[in-house]
């Protein structure tokens, strides 16, 4: 498969955008980057391309957040993400995802309303998340991630509910994807969404992911915690509404 110049431009743009959002608003990859790129390039091509970029950008930006993650929270959801990625890829390849998207959207709105209330009226007690609940959150996030690349929304809202602050939040999301995205790319390849040529071109675009990650971290450092939280909640609300009313 020979890639055209237009497709190579998409790969470069996707790498930069993914690196940028990985360092700022991870869930915006599925909310902003993917929909915009779908206006110009084929759906399956973009879905596969962004999966490669998400894997590459993890390694491009992780050094900027090294050991700032909340591992006790990440380890609760990672097993569920593994199961969800496999299930979600099967759905993406074979089945419609209408009701799954609607249920995830409704769950997101509950988290958004709760967190928005705490931002305005004061912090609420953090929810206690055990292994079973963590697996369920990861399962839902993995399914949505495989289908629409918006699993970051579920993961972000979960971490916000635990009171994780902005740098630690981004760091925890990245370390989670470091361990999850290799399975996602492998599942996509097995499902026919990726080709060797696309994998090679995606890997070659890593300098663009580094550039996006560098810029994103600087944007993150300049934002206040309150602005950061409301920005995340606004993006999450838009994602949930899109899932419910698309």
140-182 residue pLDDT tens = 889 888 887 777 777 877 787 777 777 788 788 888 889 999 9
179-207 residue pLDDT tens = 999 999 999 999 888 888 888 888 888 88
Number of domains within the chain:
1
Distance of alpha carbon 173 from alpha carbon 235, whole angstroms:
16
What are the Cα distances from residue 139, in Å, to 77, 144, 152?
8, 9, 12
Q: Which of 45, 48, 51, 63 lies closest to 18, judged by CA?
A: 51
Which residues of the chain are under the pLDDT cut of 50? 100
Residues 52/195, Cβ–Cβ less than 8 Å: no
pLDDT for res 5: 85
Distance of alpha carbon 54 from alpha carbon 231, whole angstroms:
21
For the entire predicted model, the pTM comes to: 0.73
**Start-to-end Cα distance in the chain:** 33
**Angle in degrees, CA 241, 244, 246, rounded to 5:** 90
* Structural domain for 195, as ranges: 5-245
Residues 191/89, Cβ–Cβ less than 8 Å: yes
Q: Where are the alpha helices (DSSP H) in 23-165?
A: 28, 34-38, 43-61, 71-94, 98-121, 131-148, 151-161
Question: Which residues have C-beta within 8 Å of that of residue 212, sequence separation ≥ 6?
Answer: 15, 16, 17, 18, 19, 20, 21, 22, 23, 57, 60
Distance of alpha carbon 75 from alpha carbon 111, whole angstroms:
20
């Amino acid at each position: 498969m020979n890639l055209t110049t237009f497709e190579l431009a998409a790969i470069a743009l996707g790498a930069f955008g993914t690196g940028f959002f990985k360092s700022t608003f991870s869930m915006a990859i599925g909310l902003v980057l993917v929909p915009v790129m779908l206006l110009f390039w084929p759906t399956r091509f973009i879905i596969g391309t962004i999966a490669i970029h998400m894997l590459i950008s993890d390694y491009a930006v992780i050094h900027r957040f090294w050991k700032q993650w909340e591992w006790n929270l990440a380890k609760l959801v990672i097993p569920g993400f593994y199961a969800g990625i496999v299930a979600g890829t099967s759905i993406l390849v074979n089945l419609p995802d209408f009701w799954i998207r609607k249920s995830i959207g409704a769950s997101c709105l509950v988290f958004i309303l709760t967190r928005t209330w705490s931002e305005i009226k004061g912090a609420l007690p953090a929810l206690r998340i055990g292994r079973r609940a963590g697996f369920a959150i990861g399962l839902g996030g993995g399914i949505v991630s495989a289908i629409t690349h918006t699993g970051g929304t579920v993961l972000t809202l979960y971490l916000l509910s635990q009171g994780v602050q902005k740098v630690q939040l981004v760091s925890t999301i990245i370390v989670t994807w470091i361990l999850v995205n290799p399975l996602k790319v492998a599942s996509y390849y097995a499902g026919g969404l990726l080709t060797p040529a696309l994998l090679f071109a995606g890997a070659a675009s890593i300098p663009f992911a580094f550039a996006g990650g560098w810029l994103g971290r600087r944007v993150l450092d300049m934002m206040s915690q309150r602005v950061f939280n409301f920005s995340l909640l606004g993006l999450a609300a838009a994602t949930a509404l899109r899932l419910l009313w698309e």
